[in-house]
A and B are shown apart, each in its own frame.
Chain A
Amino acid sequence: MIANLATRLQGDPLRARLLLLIGLWLVAIVVMSLLSPYFLQSSTVPYLLQYVPILGLLGLGQTLVILAGGPGIDLSVGAIVSLVGVCVGALISGLGVWPACALGIVLGGLLGLVNGVLVNVLRIPSLIATLATMFVYGGLALASTQGKPMGNFPAEFAWLGQGTTLGLPNAFVFVLLPDAVILHVMLTRTTIGRHIVASGNDDRAAYLSGIDVARVRIGLYVLSGVLAAVGSVISMSWFLSARPDAGTGMELLAVTIAVLGGTHIFGGTGGVPGTIVAILVITTLQIGLQLANISAAWQLGVIGILLVASVASTGAFKAIWGFKR
């Protein structure tokens, strides 16, 4: 029966990864509840879910960009979070909260479009192109505010980031969950989804069968920018301030989440469920280490090891441990 299960799992790497991740998550929960008596309480759940939406949106965008191949990657998402936040913060006194947020989301899409054009029209390798835009976007956010955070958000704006429905955070229930479902359906049940996966698997073949690969990929960079902007809105609503360094370091977490979730770094394989469980694993580790009062430095170390381990080829692991079959 175990052999049967093993063959079934080998047939579907994504499902195998999903099971592995769920196992990893359970291990993380057990370890964390041993480390801290405060971890295994019902109050931890909304606390944990509070952290999930922002990273979740960035991770979903990153998953799609990487999935469409190229190889694609978007290192500027953290900087987009910062820059959109600063712009919304500046517009808010003139326009009111929600129109400012809408403009911010449009801006996020435009910033993503810049990435998409640099990578897919000018054909600059995505890694270096988005590294450069990360410099520019992040620098603009810091320089235009002189590094000072912006406040003056009205109290009712906190509904999204701080409010709860049925004990669950609104940002999770009304933003992340619907987004994840829509993207999952798009990826598995629609032609666009097929086109994305086909572009990631073999862009030459996809191009020859009539898919406009460049347009698909540009669209995904725009989507990644929009999702980052939505994440920025949630972050502002949570803290009721726009910090110009709000997104610093988030791009690395987003990439970690995407590849940990089973998205192949060169595209073609991957999906939404893996990414979602990967976010839960990462957030559980962060919250758990925080509750156990262990230095934030260890979180960095653990995330680094997870990142490398999740990309390392399994063949190499077998070779290293002398595991041969």
Chain B
Amino acid sequence: MKTLLRQLGGRAAAPYLFVAPFFLLFAAFGLFPLLFSIVLSLHQWDASAGLGAMQWVGLQNYWYALTDPWFRSSLGHTFWYGLAAGLPQHLLALPLAYYIHRRLKRSRNFVVGSYFLPYITSSVAIALIFSTLLSKDFGFINLILPGAPRDWLGDADYAMPAIAFVVFWRYLGWNLVLYLSALQVIDESLYEAATLDGAGPWQQFRHITLPLLRPMIYFAVTMTIIGSLQLFDEPFILVDSESGVAPAVMTTAMFMYRMAFSYGDFGTASAISWLLFLVIAALSWGNHRLFGQAGGEHGR
């Protein structure tokens, strides 16, 4: 009887015990910090003075951030990177995935693997090699490009496109793999039937592939929106924070970092993080209206 009871108790309690570590960690290092940062964003606080030094300021931090020209320009840069690096990723990855899916057989793993490699490589290593390749004097990229050597990372006009290219280069393969995995589950017989009906390759792509890929396009674009709005590593490493062009290439995530760790203004930094979150949420929602719903109906 005793063992039976223990076993019953064991079986009922076991699942809670098994999921408990995740929820404890999430509460301590995920949820609590998040809530605390909302509180923090409504306070002025000198971190070194301890918790008692928090001073309620209402929405002032938000107002302060919104009226800060640096915040607004950082948001502009972030959008610019998102478009300049994100859009070509998808415009290229989609047809590329289609081509690889339809035409490549033997070399496929090698090709997909090579395109995917940048995604799993250390962002620091990537930024460092591109710093050398992009350097003004004797950099390889200036060497092969025609015209006068450009100061890629030292001139604001060139630094943004250069950074966008590195980001594009890094995440193209990720999108390629996403689209490829969606293509692989499309029923081949659809194409066979279409061929019998006399549909050419373009028509097949337009009327079979594209509609069926819509949920994946939605997902991949969402990931790109979320990822590019938090862009930090590449511009942070490629452009030295002391250099004159740093403000001209700064993203919002970098601005937030600077606000907290260079200026010690954790309240405003938290407000910035929530403002950026609202932007991400709004854009994701827009993307959902554009691709998500129609895709969902299609899938039902």
Say whether A and B bind each other. Answer: no
> Which residues of A line the B interface, CB within 8 A?
none
> Which residues of B line the A interface, CB within 8 A?
none
